[in-house]
Structure 1
Amino acid sequence: MADLIQLRGDFVLPMFSENQLIGFIVLGRKLSGDAYFVEDVELLTTITNQAAIAVRNAQLYQQVVLVNEYVENILRTMDSGVVTIDQNGSVVLSNSTAERLTGFPRQVLQTMKVDELPRALAGQLRATLADGEPRLQEEATLPGSGHRRTPLVCSSSALRDNRGGIIGALIVFSDLSNVKALEGEKRRAERLASLGALASGIAHEIKNPLVAIKTFAELLPERFSDSDFRDDFSGVVIKEIDRIDGLVGRLRDLAAPSREGIGPVDIREPILETLSLLRAQFEQSGTKVHRYLPDAPQFVSVVSDQLKQLFLNLFLNAIEAMGQGGDLTVRVRIAERTTGDWITAEVSDTGPGVQDAIKPKIFDPFFTTKSRGSGLGLAICHSITDAHRGSIRAENNIKGQGTTIVVVGYPVIDTMISVAIRPTVTRSSCCSPNSTRAASACARSKIAALGPRLAMRLSWSNFS
């Protein structure tokens, strides 16, 4: 107000925009010396209103310019690529990182349609624009020059107006090359560490029988005429050589389980055959076996002998864990998932379980807490599940007794199995309507084309 007084104006007109005072227009005396009449006031009021609109528009424009500069600075300094499209699929906005990663100049990018973008970006943008659902941390690859491909992690979300309607989509993507390189270095370091532990374990396991063989070999020239010594020598050498041979065989199983002979196998068969094989051990140890198996065949695509080896290792571990007495429970279930039915096989015992401190090591070759054993049992189980595209992990049971080992994969679709194994619809040259065994074999030949992945949940409380 003091400033207005200093101006010594004869007439002051306030400027309002949206009922807010944004300024004044101060007028001095007319050059003619006349007073301001009503007509003058009306004209000046109209001019003032138009001036207020112009000033407000200038302020808004300045704000837009500042916001655009702010957004541009953010986009320019981002390490991630950014691309936005409108509801028609036209690219509206991009940044310099998007230009670098895609190989398209920014001016070209912002004239493209979504279908002209690299497939890794276009697919996710189209999907988000269509359903409005965000897609977070999805990995993809961008083709580059030659055979180079850039790994990306992409997140997209819908752009909406103030009523919630979809007006476009945005995708933010980052180069994972450095992350993948670090992961590769970590894997290599872990492999080297595993190889070191493996070499140490092999050396230890082979050295013991070699020491015995060497000792007898050194004494043989002096005591060759001693028949008792020769008999002892022969027995010990053969035993120790068999020990080395067995170790080599287990290492071969650990290194690369063969996929030869893979086909549909009723999950019950290897379980029942392995339990039958170990009947004497169960009786000797006083182990009670409880079986809960499905009435109908449940097929998984596996190498049958390897699945038997898997269960053999688990059952033997359970027997050793419980010592004398105890309960061994085998249960097979079908778990319904959105991706299909999953076969779940649980092998539980009443042993002491696995300590949390050593749980991460139990799948390592030659790791064992027993006074006897090579420490290859669980390592071979891990290798077999890997060969069948499964995964395996250990979890302690809630009650504190025993450990759950979870092996995950994909089973045969249950509806296709039920049709394939029905004997009454099996009418081909490979089987007779009156032969259940032939019908089952014919059904397996049909199921073989499904190519499911091993899906089992195995739980037990011990390890080699």
Structure 2
Amino acid sequence: MHIYYIILVFASAFGGYFAYGRPHSISWLAAAVTNMFLAGFVYSNGRQIKINRAFAILCFCVALWTLSVFGLYIITDEHGAGHWIRFLRPGYFFLAPSIFYFMLALAKSDTGKNIRLVYVSFTIAAALSLLNYTGFFDEGIVSRGLSYFPKIGKRYIATLVNLGFWGGWGLFFIFRAYGRLASVRERQQLKYFFAGSSIALFLGLVSNTLFGLGHSVYPMGGIGIILYALIVSYAIIKHQLMDIEVIIRKGIIYAALTLSVIGVYAITVGISAGILGTRAGNWFTNALGGIVIALIFLPLRSRIQLAVDKLFFKDKYDYHKTLSDFSRDITSILDLELLFRLLVNNVTETMHIFRGCIMIYNPDRATYETRYCTGKDEEILRFELREADAPVEWLNKHASALNLAAHEESSFPQLRDRGIMLVIPLINKKRLVGMMNFGAKLSEDAYTSEDIELLMTLSGQAAIAIENDQLSARMRELEKSLHQADKLSALGTFASSLAHEIKNPLSSIKTFSQLMEKRFNDTVFREKFSAIVPQEIDRLEAVLNQLVDFGKESSLDFEPVKIGKVIDELFELVQYEALRRNIKVIKECGASLPPVAAVEQQLKQVFMNLILNAIQAMPAGGEVRISAAAAADSRIGDIVRVSVKDNGSGIPPEAMARIFKPFFTTKADGTGLGLSITQRIVRDHGGAIEVNSEPGNGAEFIVKLPVFAVAQP
């Protein structure tokens, strides 16, 4: 549509050239341009809305009529005037049906048999247009001053009767609608339209008809149409006659732009004449002016638009700017509940909306559930929509805002019963992840196309944030499952060690139980039994407790954990496996290590992975040295430094940069998850993990964990 407006701007300037020296024609040119602009803009911004379509048709017909009168003022020969009036006068004939159609739409009566009446009125207008081509309504072309005008005959009265009939019938629907409307805003809409139409009809049709009959009456039609446009424009701004408040803003912008373009052209011509001595109309001057205008047009339009917004539409500018700024910050909000609260509250408070809520899709129940709502209305808080419900189907089909003001009053009762007037879909990757529902504005103003466009931009950012959070939640669940799988994998690797730890006490218990029957009366035997069997049972219970503790899921609450205790428990678990592989495990821990802030089960997983890797790195046997000591780190602060070192073959240089990447492994049967999960756990604890290795001299993994800080009173 921008091309349409640009053409309109230059056409206005072109028409102004011909209007020079004929002041009576200027008002008609201005009226034609204004209505052409209104027709194009209203239609392009609401072609699916009946009242917008009807208003666009009316504006187009008014533009043709005023353009036909403008042409008569600038055409200087009788023959040309005759052809012109036959070509463009149909705009006047189609005024009657277009006025009737718009009045029906404004009164919300454009249904059923009334629509058939609209078809009849347009058919009559088409028949009158055909008669006009034969000269049926005129008695020749007469000279009036410097111009030529048709002298209308008595047959022309039929067209006035037609206009009065359909206009009067339309007013009947307007008056009837006025009586049943409860909304103050809608009553004001009808008042302003009636006032503007009356002025336009009286000044335009009456004065022009008398002028056409030969009476000395100043033709006020163009001025009447301009007054009509001003009154309707005021109604648009003050009482939201239609969703076209933005038209006024655009009209001011393009009017200022037209004057600026003319000014730039004049300056260019003046400079060219002063420096190069060229004349206006010279091809070089015109080309130079065109180039200058082309270069400055877009930047100039942006600057004028900003100035108009701040000067004439400050309230709109303020809340549009506020919400635009907020939309840029949405994706940085990580707490989903906070996002819902800020999103709904910001929109409802900034735009002064009665109610707002947000609904998010729950895949487990296949429903859209209310997650946040302004106020404590239990009915809204419990509100749900299924995938088969009409609002959801409409949003999935159209992927655009659902403005209930543009639909029949009987449609979408689930929304209307709860006071919802606008639904903004939350769509990401062509999937409806949720929706924002808003009630009416406190001012009773309608939602403009710019309001909806802004909210759609906001919803796009919100949908991305919601999808990111849901993906993060799934990733956390997957990571949790991988952590658990890694633990079980480690336990599987140490199965023989665990079997040995369990087998020894069971063997002792079995031996004593087999001898019990034969030596029950042996006092010494019973004393040994009483001393040894409970110890073996305690030992067995300790092994099983360690096994259960290591395998169970851990919480995310950090507590003071003693590293020495963790290493001691793992040391007991790995002893048999190490001996079986001819590996010596050496433990060197400081006497009084400070506790670290950690989740104990996750630390066990970290060190189990590192010890397991060290043992598996020495198939021919060797030595694993585990050491822990208090230290200080320039980045972390006070730490406990734990080292797990082996004297195996070391890590290949080409693998050093990739060992912590998920699914990278140098083992034939490895998963490549152990070190990746280890690094993630250490980082989640605010620590760091480092690796040192030289081919042939083994590898050393160093874990640095922050010391648990005791809160000061």
Q: TM-score when scaled to structure 2?
A: 0.25
The structure carrying a bigger strand percent of its residues is: 1
The structure carrying a bigger helix percent of its residues is: 2
Point out the structure with max Rg over C-alpha. Answer: 2
Q: TM-score when scaled to structure 1?
A: 0.35
Query: Larger relative contact order (C-alpha < 8 A, sep ≥ 6)?
Result: 1
